[in-house]
Amino acid sequence: MRWKTAEYSGWGRAIRANGQMARPEKRAALTALMAEEPAPAIGMRRSYGDACLNDGGRAVHMIRLDKFLGFDAETGILTAEAGLTLGEITRVMAPRGWLPAVLPGTGFATVGGAIANDVHGKNHHNAGTFAQHVVAMTLLTPDGAEHRVTPETTPDLFRATVGGVGQTGIIASAEMRLKRVKSDLVTVTERRANGFDEFIAMLDSSDTTYSVGWIDATARGADLGRGLLEEAETAGGLVPTPKSSRTVPMNAPRFALSAPVVKLFNAMWYRRVPKSGHTVVKPINDFFFQLDRIHDWNRLYGKNGFHQFQCVVPLSAAAQLRDMLERISASGLASPLAVLKRTGEGRAGMMSFPMEGYTLAVDLRAQPECEALIKRLEDMTADAGGRIYFAKDALCGADRIQQMYPDLDAWRAEVAKHDPEGRMITDLVRRLKLREPA
Residue window 84-103: x/- pattern of binding to another protein, with contact defined by CB under 8 A: --------x-----------
Comparison of 96 and 182: residue with beta carbon closer to another protein:
96
Under rule CB under 8 A, residue 5 binds another protein: yes
In terms of CB distance, is 72 or 345 closer to another protein? 72
**Does 2 interact with another protein (rule: CB under 8 A)?**
yes
Binding mask 106-145 for another protein (x = CB under 8 A): ----------------------------------------
Give the residue with the Cβ less far from another protein, 93 or 396.
93
26 touches another protein by CB under 8 A: yes
How many residues touch another protein under the rule CB under 8 A: the total is: 18
CB nearer another protein, residue 3 or residue 297: 3
Nearer to another protein, 110 or 335 (CB): 110
How many Cβ atoms sit within 10 Å of the Cβ of residue 406?
Answer: 10
CB atoms within 10 A of CB 29: 16
Q: Which stretch binds another protein (CB under 8 A): 8-16, 22-30, 158-166, 263-271?
A: 22-30
Q: Could you tell me which residues are beta bridge partners of residue 81?
A: 173
Is 20 or 183 the residue whose CB approaches another protein more closely? Answer: 20
Residue nearer to another protein on the CB measure, 69 or 248? 69
Instruction: Convert residues 43-82 into a mask of x (bound to another protein by CB under 8 A) and - (unbound).
Output: ---------------------x--xxxxx-----------
Side chain identity at residue 272, one-letter code: R
Q: Does 4 bind another protein (CB under 8 A)?
A: yes
Q: Which of 11, 14, 23, 335 binds another protein (CB under 8 A)?
A: 23
Neighbours of 311 (CB within 10 A): 29
Q: How far is the CB of 289 from another protein (least distance, A)?
A: 20
Cβ atoms within 10 A of the Cβ of 180, count? 9
Q: Which of these ranges, 19-27, 37-45, 234-242, 318-326, lies near another protein under the rule CB under 8 A?
A: 19-27
Binding site for another protein (CB under 8 A): 2-5, 23-29, 64, 67-71, 92
